Amino acid sequence: MSLLETVHSPAGLRELTAAQLDVLAAEIREFLIDRVAGSGGHLGPNLGVVELTIALHSVFDSPRDRLLWDTGHQSYVHKILTGRAGGFDRLRKGGGLSGYPSAAESEHDLVENSHASTALSYADGLARADAHQGRRDRSTVAVIGDGAMTGGMAWEALNNISGGPDRPLIIVLNDNGRSYAPTQGGFADHLGGLREGRPGPALFEQLGLSYLGPVDGHDITTLQHTLREARALRRPVVVHVVTEKGRGCVHTENNELDRGHAIRPMDPVTGEPLGTSTGPSFTSVFGREIARIAQERPEVVAITAAMLEPTGLLPMQKLFPERVIDVGIAEQHAVTMAAGLSLGGVHPVVAIYATFVNRAFDQVLMDVALHRRAVTFVLDRSGVTGDDGPSHNGMWDMSVLQVVPGLRIAAPRDGTRLAELLEEAVGWEEGPTLVRFPKGPTGEDIPTKGVFSGLDVLHRAGPLDVLIVSVGALAGMALRVAELVWAQGLGATVVDPRWVTPVNPAIGDMARRHRLVITVEDNSRTAGVGSTVAQHLRDAGVRTPLREFGIPRRFLDHGSRADVLSGCGLTAQNISRTVVEELSGNQEPAAPVRLGSLDEEMARLMDQGSRGETR
């Protein structure tokens, strides 16, 4: 029996010798490589914290002592040592282990904490709560990566931690020189100086914090000694731990781009990806097109928040390294800096994940939109991403950002539309624009059957029963709905607005002539595109009933994108069934077509539909 099979809780670590702990570390690395290679996930960050996690759990008494992980993608070893090794066969799958800490999984997890730079604020609050209640029998420990320290919120917390009364709060700075890619900025240079032993005090000491380190993050005995010393201080202290991201796996150690930060399923021996290619991703299409646009338009500059390769900016960075700016995990700064670039005559393209734009809402609203700056936002991973869990679904951007005056929002349905809409967005100089697209392959292009006042008509068949307004990548589902309702003797028109905000008035023109309107989007139903279209129809005096299909107002568990969408009722079968039921109870005929109110092509299409003909 391996040592790993005998350790079911942190208490078991304290029964092992130093030599046995080293053996355990090797076994955990082997376990991680095998399991994560099979499922995909954050391999590199966890290979780097094996010894550190063992040391933390052997010195501190979790869950009495509170351990926080920033960001939580480095918590796999923590999960193994707290009795969850058996769940790794279903890592990031529905009903299996989350890829981040999860209070629903274990008493050893306090917060989900998968958005960076937050752990120090949580820790400050926990330590203050203990002080308020007179508790001095436990410690609060926040493990934060040097990449997460590039976020402004971490520095706001440090300012308050160092400025308050002494409390037993330990900040473990996991310094591997990287977030996703190498860490950027002056703080990274300062840590480099500390690692190399350059003279001068640590910045933390100048802030009034105690400082221990730098410490070899792969020497368990030294780590244990230093952590015990930090605990004995009974005041805020920074323990500077130097680790190697991706340590112990040749495929991650040799990957200088990201050190195996987040891998797809792969062969653990060869490192080759498993499965077959499913065509170009939305991200790769964006990367190709923004590089092309940058060649044609010298005023275009791109900005990323520590996500150069994941957001597709690597091709542009290789062509124009001076025109791609990585600000670290600092979305707020990225957006306001973009406003400044625009003021200076540059057209910035801010490429971030949809889930992270939430963090910069105030800057989008007050620093960009209020001043009508021509900034283009490109939101990757919009809609349901699935396996990364509730915090990483990009399901709020259209709800949150549709309230921003002057912001135009585009949702391309395929690769060709992404290229077209990105070109239009960057060419718009009257205010901000936004292009959103999902994680994954573009699939085959969905052709336009006709254009009606700026709306792409994707399908027109049968009577004018239901108008389906399809948003972005759910166009394929919308077309399948049209097929299913046709099988029930009902006609359908499917349109893609391309630009979903502001609402194209042509939707109102078409809605008047149908018995029912539905909207289909992978965004929250609350304040989503459907809600905005409904408001537009009311304002235009259109009485046609509308049903919105989208994501319910709740956090979604991790799982495959298909499973999560199905759990939300976003399937063609469910939507078509609802449409048939709605129309069965709505016997009011569609309004007659008034020729002249529509362009000639759409008038012909709708006239055919009113006679029951198909196109």
Give catalytic residues, as residue numbers: 245, 331, 359
Whole-angstrom distance, CA of residue 554 vs CA of residue 444: 31
Is 483 flagged in the annotation as binding?
A: no
Say which amino acid occupies 290.
I
Is 186 flagged in the annotation as binding?
A: no
Q: Are 459 and 413 in contact (CB under 8 A)?
A: no
Say which amino acid occupies 430.
E
Tokens of 467: 């108008």
Is 420 flagged in the annotation as binding?
A: no
Whole-angstrom distance, CA of residue 593 vs CA of residue 588: 15
Is 37 flagged in the annotation as binding?
A: no
Report CA-CA distances (Å) from 521 to 34, 96, 395, 414. Answer: 37, 27, 10, 15
Contacts of 199 (CB under 8 A, 6+ apart): none
Say which amino acid occupies 268.
P
Is 147 flagged in the annotation as binding?
A: yes
Q: Are 261 and 180 in contact (CB under 8 A)?
A: yes
Is 73 flagged in the annotation as binding?
A: yes
Is 116 flagged in the annotation as binding?
A: yes
Report CA-CA distances (Å) from 268 to 77, 105, 376, 504. Answer: 18, 27, 40, 51
Whole-angstrom distance, CA of residue 504 vs CA of residue 602: 15
Angle, vertex CA 94, rays to CA 92 and CA 98, nearest 5: 35
Is 331 flagged in the annotation as binding?
A: yes
Q: Are 503 and 515 in contact (CB under 8 A)?
A: no
CA atoms within 13 A on the CB side of 589: 6
Whole-angstrom distance, CA of residue 395 vs CA of residue 354: 8
Q: Are 411 and 418 in contact (CB under 8 A)?
A: no
Tokens of 38: 């099979």
Q: Rg (Cα) of the chain, in Å, rounded?
A: 27
Is 299 flagged in the annotation as binding?
A: no
Annotated binding site: 73, 114-116, 146-148, 176, 331
Annotated binding site for thiamine diphosphate: 73, 114-116, 147-148, 176, 331
Annotated binding site for Mg(2+): 146, 176
